[in-house]
Every structure is written in structure tokens, then in C-alpha cells.
Amino acid sequence: MVGELTWSRRIAGLWIPLGALFVFALFPFVWMAATSLKANAELYDPKANPLWIRHPSLEHYIGLLRESNFLLWIGNTMLVAVVSTLISLLLGLMLAYPLARMRFPGAGLLALSVAVAYLVPQTLLFVPMADLINRMSLGDTLSAVMLTYPTLLVPFCAWLLMGYFKTVPRELEEAALIDGASRWRAMTQVILPLCTPGFLSAGIFAFTLAQNEFLYALLFLNTSTIRTVPVGITGELIRGDAFYWGQLMAAALLGSLPVALIYSFFVKYYVAGLTAGSVKG
């Protein structure tokens, strides 16, 4: 009897909520996949079940690849995301390490400023950013977004890495310094190897945000061949009041695959990094 009650409580308290969360999380992907695999006749049939595919078709994927620059958008998105992530991790590391491991006047105020800078909304920054990009003659180039995305990514990367650096005992670094290691060598050979999960989680976050960013890409990228996926699909697959739902869902599904694959490989490091950063930060 006790075993049955325990099993019933486990089902009610664990498996049912997990199942509901699983369905809630996967529902958008199922909807996108079902919509992208329906022919137009079935897609716009008001009597058709939105999640049931009677006659699967790849016409929307074929049309997306043939009638748009989707492959170029994917390449541009990956290039911008990788470059922005590398820049943000490097600058975030240079900012987080001295704030977390060194003592100097104003360190606390500077650390607080990093957190506040992350909270500044894009809508307050895109006007001065646009003026700066125009003055540098970088409008309508991928360099424009590669330089502006780190303004969003560096504060969070620095905040996350600061929290993770603080979890490493100072005695390890001090022992390396006593043995003759330079500050740079102590950081690269002692601290960073121990903070790999935090570094990976910061990189995943930066990559995801750079890949999905819309406002700066919409503002700076006007030519079809240099657009990223978010701007490309909304700018060319929505024409006036005509929504090409099949191609839109196909593009959204294909565009989400890189991030999904990255999360599937590094999810445990991502969760560990966020937990350490939020607790110790």
C-alpha cells in the first residue's frame, strides 16, 4: 500500500509535470515541422488538422532553397555568431578576470557597472550605434553587426565568468604565482582549465543571442545577400500582407537546428555554468 502511494505521488509530482513541460517545449517545433511539410492545398484548408500531415511534401524546403538566399543567410548568421562570440568571450575574460581575482580601488563599482550595462535595452542604444556605424562607413556590411553585437554580449559574459572565477580557491593561483608563474600563465594554465564549464556556457549564450538578434541586423543589413536568417526570412518571406507560411516555417526550423545541436552537446556545461554564475556572482 505504501509503495503504491509513493508511486502515485511520484507520478503526480514528477512525471506529469515533466510530461506537460516536454509537450509545451516541443509544441512549437512540432507545429513548424508539420506546417513546413504540408502542400499549400492542405496548408490553407480550414478543415485540416494543423498538426496532422495527410500528404507530406518538401515543396516549401525546395522553394526556400531555390527562390531565396537562405543558404547565404545561414552562412552569414554562422559567421557573425562565431566572430561575435569569440570577441565577446575574449573581452569578457579580460574584464571578468581582474574583477574577480584582483584587488584594486573601484573594483566593486566597476563590477556593478558591468551588471547594469547588461540591463540597458537595445532600443536606447541603436540610435547612437547607427550614427557610429554610418560615421565608420560600415553600413550594409557584416562588420557592422560583428562590432555591435559584443556590446550586448560582453556584459553578460563578464558577469557569468566573474561568478565562475570566484568559485576557484585563491590558494591555487597564489601557489602558481609563488612558484614563479606570471599572472597570465596562472590565468591560462590554472584558472581557465578549472572554469571550462563557465566558459562554455558563456559561449553558448553569446552564440545563441548573436544568431537570433534582430534589431541591429534589421537596421544595418539591407542587401539580401548579406542578411542573417532572422532578417532574411521576415524581410523576404513576408511581402505586404502575404505570409508564405510553408517557407517561413521551413526556414525557422532549419535556422534553429544549429543552436539545438549545440545545446544537446553542451547542455550539462551550460546548466553548470549558469548555476555557478548566478550563485557566486
Task: Report the C-alpha gap between 161 and 124 in whole angstroms.
Answer: 26
Coil, strand, or helix at residue 182? Answer: coil
Note the pTM of the prediction, 2 decimals.
Answer: 0.81
Task: Render each residue's pLDDT in the chain as its tens digit; 281 residues.
Answer: 545 556 667 666 677 888 888 888 888 888 888 888 888 888 888 787 777 888 888 888 998 888 889 999 999 999 999 999 999 999 998 888 888 877 777 777 777 787 777 777 777 788 888 888 888 888 889 999 999 999 889 988 888 888 888 888 888 888 888 888 788 888 888 888 888 878 888 888 889 889 988 888 988 988 888 999 999 988 888 877 778 888 889 998 888 888 888 777 777 666 655 555 444 44
CB atoms within 10 A of CB 105: 7
Cell numbers at 273, concatenated: 555554468
Inter-residue contact 160 to 205 (CB < 8 Å): yes
Task: Report the C-alpha gap between 204 and 212 in whole angstroms.
Answer: 12
Which of 243, 270, 259, 61 shows the shortest CA–CA distance to 160?
270
Cell numbers at 112, concatenated: 556593478
Is the four-CA dihedral 95, 99, 102, 104 of positive or negative sign? positive
CB atoms within 10 A of CB 280: 14
Describe the crossing of helices 150-165 and 70-101 by its angle, rounded to 10 degrees. Answer: 40
Residues of the chain with CATH 1.10.3720.10: 68-280
- CATH number belonging to domain 68-280: 1.10.3720.10
Task: Report the C-alpha gap between 208 and 265 in whole angstroms.
Answer: 14
Inter-residue contact 176 to 170 (CB < 8 Å): no
Sequence-distant (6+) residues with CB within 8 A of 149 are 80, 84, 88, 209, 210, 213, 216
